[in-house]
């Protein structure tokens, strides 16, 4: 399009200039550029965190090589699945950067520990990868199956996150293959038993002190391991509390640099009135918004929103903001609310484009459907419903698509008088049609152009109901009689259009949310008003973004539960035990608690992005539990005297890889949480949920999971060792 515009500009006269008033692709290009930029930042942060733990560039190179290999492999998966490079697939790449190094880090750390003890690099690579093989497969499969339910989701959530889930899962599975093949090979070639550099010797005491502190703290905690159950119960209580308190919405409102100022006047106003009104509104908006780059005014404002049906009684001013500005789009829209009080010639609504959903409507609020037995029944209750809704502080603007504002003159024929004078009903109808209908009679050609011939009275003789008194028609005797002798006029009002929802007469009431209000609050406000103003004849429903919000919330809840079940079944099959997976899954409430507390602390909402982050945590946090439980089982099978000693040794041995993988994932997700760029508002809640859940969950997992591991295995051992009670021998008489 831009190339075509450049060609057109070359052919234009010198006094004509073309400018692009509206380009919907600019935001898309900006968003894609910022996500690509975030990928680079995440890559650098992950490399730094790996180097901070390994402190040698040769060693750091081994897991870092897994990133480009896995990312290229993920692009191959996208190509095979027919996906495009878009915001969500690139967002999956950002999160994948912190994940694809996890398996390579775990394998490297295990091989590296054996090389440090004097084992040959080749032998260490074989034994170390064989020892860690099961844990890598278990963590990879558990993370991959988390995204499996997303493939079968319908509706908006399924369309949005199907490509996102497949991209991450593909990258993770490829990284697992790389970790078990390329990483051991590189370890056998690059790792050497040699003296470490000054950086390693300077920082190693810090890591050793950290390991000693953790070991001592874990031993003390395991003395009072029943506290682990108290922590789990407390975390579950916090989850229940915050789930009910956090605001809910479909998606956070993004700063797209676009604001709609819509106006709807009374039926019957002229085009000139509406055009002058919108020009006055545009001039006032220009003075209030110095950040405006382009302003576009249109009358009629066809399409988009209640009452906007292409009639001349409505219009809009669309404001496009500059990228470089101090005020946000939301702040500017809030300041424009004063236009509703200053311009009373029409109802003005200040709207912003929703982040996802039906953006063409320009509505960011709640669409609430009121269904009734008929139009007259809706006429009775709708004004009261709208009056109560407009009093609610949740909304700044409330309107309905069903209006009873169209003036109408009903003509009632006096049939007895008409029959006496010899005038038929058809004569009266044809006379009114010829005078007012504006029928096309024919065509004529003048100067090579064809024009229509329209039969109609001039505007001076048809603009008032009293003008009908001047119309005359002939009787059967050939005399003229005035029309007002044969008809009676009555003025009333009727809907310009009638609407149906699910085959029922209905009205869609749209409410624009006030600043800081969420979709969930808007739905609850409308439901309370409906209970107070509607009787049993009426039913209600949701449509638009409100329906998408409810459907997405219920779908994601089932996806979360299904992800938990799938992870448990996969781990049960891999561990050949029902107890070990249960211990591992107890990491989930700890991570969820941290994620919800983080969302609450940073004033974020539960939306489609943050909920996907919560689902991701199921797979991410179970990695830590798998590493501890699997190594504890290996240590116990290898001769550890008790489960307590085995889990203490396993937790201490897995401390560094757990911290390293957690830090890599956290820093890889950090650019998302920091809202880098103006197109990242919707993704912030996902980043905060993932980081908060990982940090909080990993910290507690290092203590809670070993304690629960000991408690559960001891309880099973106790139940298995309960002696059978012998039956009393019968007493002989």
pLDDT on residue 33: 75
Instruction: State the DSSP H helix or E strand holding residue 584, giving kind and residue range, or none if neither.
Output: helix 579-585
Q: Which residue has the higher pLDDT, 160 or 487?
A: 487
Q: What crossing angle do the helices spanning 655-673 and 681-720 adopt, rounded to 10°? A: 150
Q: Is the pLDDT of residue 307 over 50?
A: no
Q: Is residue 342 part of a domain?
A: yes
The average confidence (pLDDT) of the chain is 82
**Distance (Å, whole) CA 572 – CA 141:** 12
Instruction: State the DSSP H helix or E strand holding residue 352, giving kind and residue range, or none if neither.
Output: strand 347-352
Query: Of 335, 352, 369, which residue is a domain's last?
Result: 352
**Distance (Å, whole) CA 619 – CA 147:** 9
Mean pLDDT of 459-478: 78
Among 53-67, 293-307, 552-566, 614-628, the least confident range: 293-307
CB 653 within 8 A of CB 230: no
Torsion (CA) 432, 437, 440, 441 in degrees, nearest 10: 10
Are residues 323 and 438 part of one domain?
A: no
Angle subtended at Cα 95 by Cα 89 and Cα 98, rounded to the nearest 5 degrees: 145
**Distance (Å, whole) CA 358 – CA 510:** 13
pLDDT band at 74 (very low <50, low <70, confident <90, very high): confident
Cβ contacts of 491 within 8 Å, gap of 6 or more: 407, 408, 409, 410, 465
Instruction: State the DSSP H helix or E strand holding residue 472, giving kind and residue range, or none if neither.
Output: strand 472-474
**Highest mean pLDDT range out of 260-269, 352-361, 437-446, 686-695?**
686-695
Mean pLDDT of 119-148: 86
CATH of residue 280:
3.30.70.1430
pLDDT band at 725 (very low <50, low <70, confident <90, very high): very low
Query: Of 428, 460, 494, which residue is a domain's last?
Result: 494
Q: Is residue 437 part of a domain?
A: yes
pLDDT on residue 267: 75
CATH of residue 627:
1.20.1640.10
Are residues 487 and 569 part of one domain?
A: no
Residue 294, beta-bridge partner list: 320
Q: Is residue 576 part of a domain?
A: yes
Q: Is residue 67 part of a domain?
A: yes
Are residues 603 and 692 part of one domain?
A: yes
Q: Is residue 27 part of a domain?
A: yes
pLDDT on residue 465: 76
Model confidence, pTM = 0.79
419-441: string of b/e by CB count within 10 Å (b at 16+)? eebebeeebbeebbebbbeeeee
Q: What is the pLDDT of residues 486-522, one digit of tens each?
A: 888 887 777 777 788 888 888 888 888 888 788 888 9
Query: Of 308, 327, 352, which residue is a domain's last?
Result: 352
Within 13 Å and on the Cβ side, how many CA atoms surround 661?
26
CATH of residue 453:
3.30.2090.10
Cβ contacts of 384 within 8 Å, gap of 6 or more: 533
Are residues 590 and 456 part of one domain?
A: no
pLDDT on residue 722: 46
CA distances, 720 to each of 298, 578, 582, 640, 711 (Å): 80, 15, 18, 20, 14
Q: Which SS3 state, helix, strand or coil, does residue 709 take? A: helix
pLDDT band at 704 (very low <50, low <70, confident <90, very high): very high
Q: List the structure tokens of 217.
A: 């703290």
pLDDT on residue 188: 87
Are residues 58 and 113 part of one domain?
A: yes
CB 520 within 8 A of CB 526: no
Q: Is the pLDDT of residue 231 over 90?
A: yes
Q: List the structure tokens of 388.
A: 């109560």
Are residues 277 and 191 part of one domain?
A: no
**Distance (Å, whole) CA 45 – CA 28:** 26
Quickly list DSSP for 479-521.
Answer: -EEEGGGTEEEEEEEE-SS--EETTEEEEEEEEEEPTT--HHH
Cβ contacts of 213 within 8 Å, gap of 6 or more: none
Instruction: State the DSSP H helix or E strand holding residue 613, giving kind and residue range, or none if neither.
Output: helix 608-637
Q: Is the pLDDT of residue 594 over 90?
A: yes
Are residues 556 and 634 part of one domain?
A: yes
Residue 334's nearest CA partner among 517, 606, 602, 525 is: 517
Are residues 188 and 141 part of one domain?
A: yes
Residue 102's nearest CA partner among 49, 145, 56 is: 49
CB 637 within 8 A of CB 68: no
Q: What is the pLDDT of residues 637-684, one digit of tens each?
A: 888 888 888 888 888 888 888 888 888 888 888 888 887 654 567 788
Q: List the structure tokens of 693.
A: 């859940």
Burial (Cβ within 10 Å: 0-12, 13-18, ≥19) of residue 479:
exposed
Are residues 232 and 299 part of one domain?
A: no
Residue 101's nearest CA partner among 164, 44, 163, 16 is: 44
Are residues 126 and 58 part of one domain?
A: yes
Cβ contacts of 271 within 8 Å, gap of 6 or more: 299, 300, 312
What is the β-pairing status of strands 500-501 and 504-513?
Answer: antiparallel
Instruction: State the DSSP H helix or E strand holding residue 717, giving kind and residue range, or none if neither.
Output: helix 681-720
pLDDT band at 529 (very low <50, low <70, confident <90, very high): very high
Measured in degrees and rounded to the nearest 5, phi and psi for residue 201 equal -65, -30
Angle subtended at Cα 37 by Cα 32 and Cα 41, rounded to the nearest 5 degrees: 145
**Distance (Å, whole) CA 211 – CA 213:** 5
**Distance (Å, whole) CA 140 – CA 397:** 49
Are residues 699 and 611 part of one domain?
A: yes
Are residues 93 and 234 part of one domain?
A: yes
The structural domain count of the chain equals: 3
CB 697 within 8 A of CB 625: no
Within 13 Å and on the Cβ side, how many CA atoms surround 247?
16
pLDDT band at 227 (very low <50, low <70, confident <90, very high): very high
HEC assignment per residue over 121-161? HHHHHHHHHHHHHHHHHHHHHHHHHHCHHHHHCCHHHHHHH
**Distance (Å, whole) CA 614 – CA 592:** 7
Q: Is residue 74 part of a domain?
A: yes
Q: Which residue has the higher pLDDT, 527 or 549?
A: 527
**Distance (Å, whole) CA 605 – CA 249:** 7
Burial (Cβ within 10 Å: 0-12, 13-18, ≥19) of residue 445:
exposed
In the chain, the percentage of residues whose pLDDT exceeds 70 is: 92
- The Cβ of residue 287 has, within 10 Å, a number of other Cβ atoms equal to 9
pLDDT band at 194 (very low <50, low <70, confident <90, very high): low
pLDDT on residue 230: 93
CA distances, 59 to each of 55, 56, 114, 184 (Å): 8, 5, 14, 12
HEC assignment per residue over 99-117? HHHHHHHHHHHHHHHHHHC
**Distance (Å, whole) CA 410 – CA 477:** 28
Which runs of consecutive H residues, i.e. helices, occur in 147-226?
155-190, 198-223
**Distance (Å, whole) CA 53 – CA 225:** 30
Instruction: State the DSSP H helix or E strand holding residue 542, giving kind and residue range, or none if neither.
Output: strand 539-543
Q: List the structure tokens of 439.
A: 């029928």
- The Cβ of residue 677 has, within 10 Å, a number of other Cβ atoms equal to 17
What is the β-pairing status of strands 487-494 and 472-474?
Answer: unpaired
Residue 256's nearest CA partner among 359, 135, 103 is: 359
In which domain, by residue range, is 448 found? 406-494
Q: Is the pLDDT of residue 592 over 90?
A: yes
């Amino acid at each position: 399009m831009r190339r075509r515009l450049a060609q057109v500009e070359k052919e234009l006269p010198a006094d004509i200039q073309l400018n692009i008033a509206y380009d919907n692709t600019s935001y898309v290009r900006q968003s894609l550029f910022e996500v690509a930029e975030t990928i680079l930042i995440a890559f650098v942060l992950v490399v730094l965190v790996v180097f901070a733990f390994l402190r040698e560039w040769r060693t750091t190179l081994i897991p870092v090589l897994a990133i480009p290999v896995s990312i290229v492999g993920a692009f191959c998966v996208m190509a095979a699945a027919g996906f495009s490079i878009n915001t969500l697939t690139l967002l999956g790449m950002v999160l994948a950067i912190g994940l694809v190094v996890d398996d390579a880090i775990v394998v490297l750390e295990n091989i590296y520990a054996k090389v440090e003890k004097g084992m040959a690099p080749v032998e260490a690579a074989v034994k170390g990868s064989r020892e860690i093989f099961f844990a890598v497969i278990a963590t990879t499969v558990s993370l991959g199956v988390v995204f499996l339910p997303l493939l079968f989701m319908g509706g908006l959530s399924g369309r949005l996150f199907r490509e996102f889930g497949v991209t991450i899962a593909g990258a993770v599975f490829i990284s697992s293959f790389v970790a078990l093949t390329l990483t051991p090979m590189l370890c056998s070639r690059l790792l050497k038993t040699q003296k470490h550099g000054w950086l390693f010797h300077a920082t190693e005491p810090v890591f050793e002190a950290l390991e000693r502190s953790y070991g001592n703290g874990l031993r003390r905690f395991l003395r009072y391991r029943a506290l682990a159950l108290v922590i789990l119960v407390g975390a579950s209580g916090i989850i229940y509390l915050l789930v009910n308190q956090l605001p809910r919405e479909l998606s956070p409102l993004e700063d797209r640099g676009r604001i709609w100022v819509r106006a709807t006047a009374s039926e019957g106003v002229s085009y000139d009135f509406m055009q002058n009104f919108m020009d006055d509104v545009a001039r006032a908006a220009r003075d209030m918004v110095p950040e405006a780059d382009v302003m576009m005014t249109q009358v009629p404002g066809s399409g988009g929103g209640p009452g906007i049906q292409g009639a001349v009684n409505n219009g809009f001013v669309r404001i496009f903001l500059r990228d470089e500005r101090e005020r946000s789009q939301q702040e500017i829209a809030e300041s424009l609310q004063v236009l509703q009080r200053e311009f009373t010639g029409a109802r003005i609504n200040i709207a912003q484009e929703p982040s996802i959903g039906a953006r063409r409507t320009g509505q960011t609020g709640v669409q609430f459907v009121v269904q009734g037995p008929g139009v007259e029944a809706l006429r009775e209750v709708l004004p009261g419903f709208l009056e109560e809704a407009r009093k609610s502080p949740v909304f700044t603007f409330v309107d309905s698509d069903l209006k009873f504002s169209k003036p109408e003159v009903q003509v009632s024929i006096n049939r007895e008088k008409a029959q006496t004078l010899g005038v038929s009903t058809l004569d009266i109808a044809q006379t009114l049609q010829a005078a007012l209908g504006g029928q096309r009679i024919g065509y004529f050609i003048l100067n090579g152009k064809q024009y229509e011939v329209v039969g109609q009275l001039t505007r001076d003789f048809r603009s008032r109901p009293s003008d009908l008194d001047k119309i005359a028609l002939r009787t059967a005797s050939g005399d003229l009689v005035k029309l007002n002798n044969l008809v009676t006029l009555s003025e009333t009002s009727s809907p310009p259009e009638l609407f149906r929802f699910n085959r029922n007469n209905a009205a869609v009431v749209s409410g624009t949310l006030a600043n800081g209000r969420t979709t969930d609050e808007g739905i609850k406000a409308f439901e309370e008003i409906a209970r107070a103003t509607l009787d049993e004849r009426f039913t209600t429903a949701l449509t638009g973004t409100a329906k998408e919000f409810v459907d997405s919330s219920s779908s994601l809840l089932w996806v979360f539960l299904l992800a938990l079940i799938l992870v448990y079944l996969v781990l049960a099959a891999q561990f050949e035990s029902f107890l070990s997976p249960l211990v591992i899954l107890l990491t989930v409430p700890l991570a969820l608690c941290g994620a919800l507390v983080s969302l609450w602390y940073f004033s974020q909402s539960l939306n489609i992005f943050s909920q996907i982050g919560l689902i991701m945590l199921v797979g991410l946090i179970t990695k830590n539990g798998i590493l501890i439980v699997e190594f504890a089982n290996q240590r116990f099978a290898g001769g550890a005297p008790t489960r307590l000693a085995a889990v203490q040794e396993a937790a201490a041995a897995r401390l560094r890889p757990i911290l390293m993988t957690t830090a890599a994932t956290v820093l890889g997700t950090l650019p998302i949480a920091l809202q880098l760029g103006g197109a990242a508002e919707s993704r912030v809640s996902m980043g905060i949920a993932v980081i908060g859940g990982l940090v909080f969950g990993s910290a507690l997992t290092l203590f809670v999971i070993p304690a629960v591991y000991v408690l559960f295995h001891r309880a099973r051992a106790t139940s298995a060792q309960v002696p059978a009670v012998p039956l009393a021998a019968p007493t002989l008489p």
